[in-house]
Chains A and B, each alone.
Chain A
Amino acid sequence: MSTFTDTLMHGNEHAFKPQTLTPMQKLVLKYVVFGLVYYGFAAIEGMLMRINAVDPQDLLYPKRYFAMLTAHPLVGIFGSTYLLVFGAFTFLVPYLMKKPLWSFKLARWTLWLIVVGVFTFWLDGFLTHYAPLYTLYWPLPADFQQFEPVAGALFITGIALVMVGTLFFVVNVFKTITYTPEGWSKQPAGRLLGDALGVTTLKRFVTGKLHKDAEQEHLVSLPVAAIARGTVDVLFNVGIILFTGVLILVYMVAEIFGASLKSSSVDALLYKNWFWWGLDLVADGLVLVFVAGTWYLLAQLITGREVFMARWARFALGLELVVSWTVWSHHLLSDQAQPAALKMGSGEFVTAFELITQGLAFFITLVTLWKARPLAMSNELKFLLGGLLGFALAVPAGIMQADVGLNRILHNTQWVVGPHVHVAILVGLTMTLYSAIYLLLPILTNGAKLWSQKLATFHFWAHLVGGIGMGAFMGMAGLHGMLRRTIYYDGEYFWYMVLAAVSGALLLLALGAFLLNIVMTLGVNGAVGLFRRSELPPSVLVPGVDLAVEPEPATGSAG
Chain B
Amino acid sequence: MKALVAGLLGQVVDSSVVLWGQTIMYTAYCLAIVSVVGWFAWKITTPTDHESRVTPKVFYVWVGFLTVLGVSLHLVTYNTIPWVKDDLHGASAHYTESYDITVGNHEWQLPAERIQVPCGELVRFSVTSTDLTYGFGLFRADNSMVAQMQVVPGHANNLLWTFEANGTYSIRSTEYSGPAGAQMVAPDAVQVTGCDTTDDAAAGGTR
Instruction: Tell me whether A and B are bound partners.
Output: yes
Interface residues of A (CB under 8 A from B): 62-63, 65-66, 129, 131-133, 135, 137-140, 143, 146-147, 264, 267-269, 272, 308-309, 312, 332, 334-337, 340, 343-344, 348-349, 352-353, 355-356, 359-360, 363-364, 366-367, 369-377, 382, 385, 388-389, 392-393, 396-397, 399-400, 403-406, 408-409, 411-413, 419, 468, 472, 475-476, 479-483, 485-487, 492-493
- In the complex, which residue of chain B has the Cβ closest to the Cβ of A64? B179
Q: Mark B41-56, 1 if CB is under 8 A from A, else 0.
A: 1011111100010101
Question: Looking at the complex, which one of A129, A267, A360 makes contact with B154 (CB distance below 8 Å)?
Answer: A267
List 25 A-B residue pairs with CB atoms under 8 Å apart, sorted by A's residue number.
A66-B176, A66-B179, A135-B176, A137-B132, A146-B178, A146-B180, A268-B154, A268-B155, A272-B133, A309-B56, A336-B155, A337-B155, A340-B87, A340-B89, A344-B74, A352-B70, A355-B66, A356-B70, A376-B45, A377-B41, A377-B45, A396-B26, A409-B19, A476-B23, A479-B23
- In the complex, which residue of chain B has the Cβ closest to the Cβ of A363? B62
Q: How far is the CA of A388 from the CA of B182 in the complex (A)?
A: 36
Given A369-B44, A400-B73, A405-B84, is A132 in contact with B178 using a C-beta cutoff of 8 Å?
Answer: yes
B6 within 8 A of A: no
- In the complex, which residue of chain B has the Cβ closest to the Cβ of A489? B183
Q: How far is the CA of A63 from the CA of B176 in the complex (A)?
A: 12
Q: Which residues of B contact A131 (CB under 8 A)?
A: 178-179
B4 within 8 A of A: no
- Given contacts A375-B44, A404-B74, A406-B22, could you give 5 more A-B pairs where the C-beta distance is less than 8 Å? A146-B178, A146-B179, A335-B152, A404-B78, A409-B147
CB pair A140 B73 closer than 8 Å? no
CB pair B155 A309 closer than 8 Å? no
- In the complex, which residue of chain B has the Cβ closest to the Cβ of A374? B47
Given A146-B178, A352-B73, A486-B182, is A385 in contact with B22 using a C-beta cutoff of 8 Å?
Answer: no
Q: How far is the CA of A257 from the CA of B135 in the complex (A)?
A: 33
Given A268-B133, A336-B149, is A309 in contact with B59 using a C-beta cutoff of 8 Å?
Answer: yes
Q: Mark B146-164, 1 if CB is under 8 A from A, else 0.
A: 1111101111111100000
Q: Which residues of B contact A343 (CB under 8 A)?
A: 88
CB pair A355 B70 closer than 8 Å? yes
Question: Looking at the complex, which one of A363, A374, A492 makes contact with B46 (CB distance below 8 Å)?
Answer: A374
Interface residues in B, total, Cβ within 8 A: 76
CB pair A405 B132 closer than 8 Å? no
Question: Looking at the complex, which one of B149, B156, B158, B180 makes contact with A334 (CB distance below 8 Å)?
Answer: B149
Question: Looking at the complex, which one of A137, A374, A411 makes contact with B44 (CB distance below 8 Å)?
Answer: A374
Q: How far is the CA of A143 from the CA of B29 in the complex (A)?
A: 43
CB pair A336 B159 closer than 8 Å? yes
CB pair B29 A396 closer than 8 Å? yes
- In the complex, which residue of chain A has the Cβ closest to the Cβ of B175? A412
Question: Looking at the complex, which one of A137, A138, A139, A403 makes contact with B73 (CB distance below 8 Å)?
Answer: A403
B115 within 8 A of A: no
Looking at the assembled complex, report how far the CB atom of A336 sits from the nearest CB atom of chain B, in whole angstroms.
5
Looking at the assembled complex, report how far the CB atom of A329 sits from the nearest CB atom of chain B, in whole angstroms.
13
CB pair A352 B74 closer than 8 Å? yes
B5 within 8 A of A: no
CB pair A337 B77 closer than 8 Å? no
Question: Looking at the complex, which one of B37, B176, B178, B183 makes contact with A388 (CB distance below 8 Å)?
Answer: B37
- In the complex, which residue of chain A has the Cβ closest to the Cβ of B87? A404
CB pair A360 B143 closer than 8 Å? no
B9 within 8 A of A: no
Looking at the assembled complex, report how far the CB atom of B38 sits from the nearest CB atom of chain A, in whole angstroms.
9
B177 within 8 A of A: yes
Looking at the assembled complex, report how far the CB atom of B31 sits from the nearest CB atom of chain A, in whole angstroms.
11
Q: How far is the CA of A292 from the CA of B25 in the complex (A)?
A: 27
| 8 Å CB interface, B74-88 against A | 74, 77-78, 81, 83-84, 87-88
Q: Mark B117-142, 1 if CB is under 8 A from A, else 0.
A: 00000000000000111010101101
Given A264-B154, A335-B152, A397-B26, is A409 in contact with B145 using a C-beta cutoff of 8 Å?
Answer: yes
Q: How far is the CA of A249 from the CA of B3 in the complex (A)?
A: 51
Interface secondary structure of A, over-half rule: helix
Question: Looking at the complex, which one of B15, B139, B179 makes contact with A62 (CB distance below 8 Å)?
Answer: B179
Interface residues of B (CB under 8 A from A): 15, 18-19, 22-23, 26, 29-30, 33-34, 37, 40-41, 43-48, 52, 54, 56, 58-59, 62-63, 66-67, 69-71, 73-74, 77-78, 81, 83-84, 87-90, 131-133, 135, 137, 139-140, 142-150, 152-159, 172, 174-180, 182-183
CB pair A371 B139 closer than 8 Å? no
CB pair B176 A403 closer than 8 Å? no
Q: Which residues of A contact B139 (CB under 8 A)?
A: 481
Q: How far is the CA of A382 from the CA of B46 in the complex (A)?
A: 14
- In the complex, which residue of chain B has the Cβ closest to the Cβ of A397? B26
Given A369-B44, A374-B46, is A404 in contact with B77 using a C-beta cutoff of 8 Å?
Answer: yes
Q: Which residues of B contact A135 (CB under 8 A)?
A: 176
Q: Which 9 A-B pairs have the closest CB atoms?
A: A352-B70, A405-B81, A337-B155, A405-B77, A485-B176, A481-B145, A137-B133, A481-B144, A146-B178
CB pair B179 A392 closer than 8 Å? no
Q: Which residues of A contact B58 (CB under 8 A)?
A: 367
Given A137-B133, A143-B132, A405-B83, is A373 in contact with B178 using a C-beta cutoff of 8 Å?
Answer: no
Listed residue (B139, B142, B148, B176) with the most chain A CB atoms within 10 angstroms of its CB: B176
Q: Which residues of B contact A65 (CB under 8 A)?
A: 179
Q: How far is the CA of A144 from the CA of B58 in the complex (A)?
A: 58
CB pair B88 A408 closer than 8 Å? no
- In the complex, which residue of chain B has the Cβ closest to the Cβ of A482? B143
Q: Which residues of B contact A367 (CB under 8 A)?
A: 52, 54, 58-59
Q: How far is the CA of A482 from the CA of B137 in the complex (A)?
A: 11
Q: Which residues of B contact A133 (CB under 8 A)?
A: 176
Q: How far is the CA of A407 from the CA of B53 in the complex (A)?
A: 41
Q: How far is the CA of A336 from the CA of B35 in the complex (A)?
A: 40
Question: Looking at the complex, which one of A264, A355, A363 makes contact with B69 (CB distance below 8 Å)?
Answer: A355
CB pair B54 A308 closer than 8 Å? yes
CB pair B150 A373 closer than 8 Å? no
- In the complex, which residue of chain B has the Cβ closest to the Cβ of A147? B178
Q: Which residues of B contact A344 (CB under 8 A)?
A: 74, 88
Q: Which residues of B contact A355 (CB under 8 A)?
A: 66, 69-70
Q: How far is the CA of A385 from the CA of B40 in the complex (A)?
A: 9
- In the complex, which residue of chain A has the Cβ closest to the Cβ of B37? A389
